[in-house]
Amino acid sequence: MATDKPELVSPLAGAAFWYDDSIEFKWRLADMVTIKAKLDLYIGLDPVKPWEALTASRSWDLRPQSYWSSFDTYPVKLGLERHRTYYWMIAQEKPGHGMTLLSEVRALHIHGQRFPGKLVLGFASAPPRTVKPGVAVNFAVGIRNESDGLIRLFFSTPQHFDVRVYQQRGILSDKFVWSPPKGHAMVPDTLDIQPKSQAVETFSWPQIDSRGDSVLLGFDYRIVVRCLADDFHEQAQETCGITYY
């Protein structure tokens, strides 16, 4: 059965969406006929043949019922990943006839996530203001989810925070002295934070520098923590002074 080819309306070619945006795939027919054959929305990584690099193991049935047809969903529900460009089209697959492209192929890009007002990075347990020599400086870092929904953070490795200790030297530039040893495998990791909850990790600085020597007394030391999530790079800092005996 011959059908009128659908004209793609949205999203526009090259359109970009945030990972938590809703995307409406919309198209229209040449006239007010109802197409009875099933049409599929294909989204893939190949700009020439999107169906050969699908983002999921299925297509989406878009049987139109009128002049205008649309499909509204979110990137995560389509299996789309952040920071990637995809290609989509409307097609029809008939047994024994292969794939029939019914529309142009359009590109769309998925940005990362947005967290203004949703996530707060801080010290769940701050280091002491002053500490005696040789006493470990313990502290905890937390990411609080202030939103009403679960937030999933993505990391390139299981290391979630970059911790650095600097010696404050007055008018001179702060001197880096220590960072925890890094022994994380180079595999991606995720962290789920429930609504109105906090994910906390603890750290301990044994008052040594990067060579393992004891640090100098009588100085203040600035502890800087930065989140290493793909889309959340906030940092927090506190100061701890090491007193004389």
pLDDT tens track of the chain, all 245 residues? 445 677 888 999 999 999 888 999 888 776 544 455 667 788 888 887 776 655 543 456 666 556 677 778 888 888 888 899 999 888 776 655 666 767 888 999 999 988 888 999 999 999 999 999 999 999 999 999 999 989 999 998 999 999 999 999 887 889 999 999 887 678 889 999 999 999 999 999 999 999 999 999 999 999 999 999 989 999 999 999 998 86
SS (H, E, C) 96-148: CCEEEECCCCEEEEECCCCCCCCEEEEEEECCCCEECCCCCEEEEEEEEECCC
Structural domains of the chain ordered from first start: 7-110 (2.60.40.10), 119-242 (2.60.40.2360)
Q: 6 with 90: CB under 8 angstroms?
A: yes
Cα Rg, the chain, nearest whole Å: 27
pLDDT for the residue 116: 83
Q: What is the pTM of this model?
A: 0.72
Distance of CA 150 to the CA centre of its chain: 13
pLDDT for the residue 140: 97
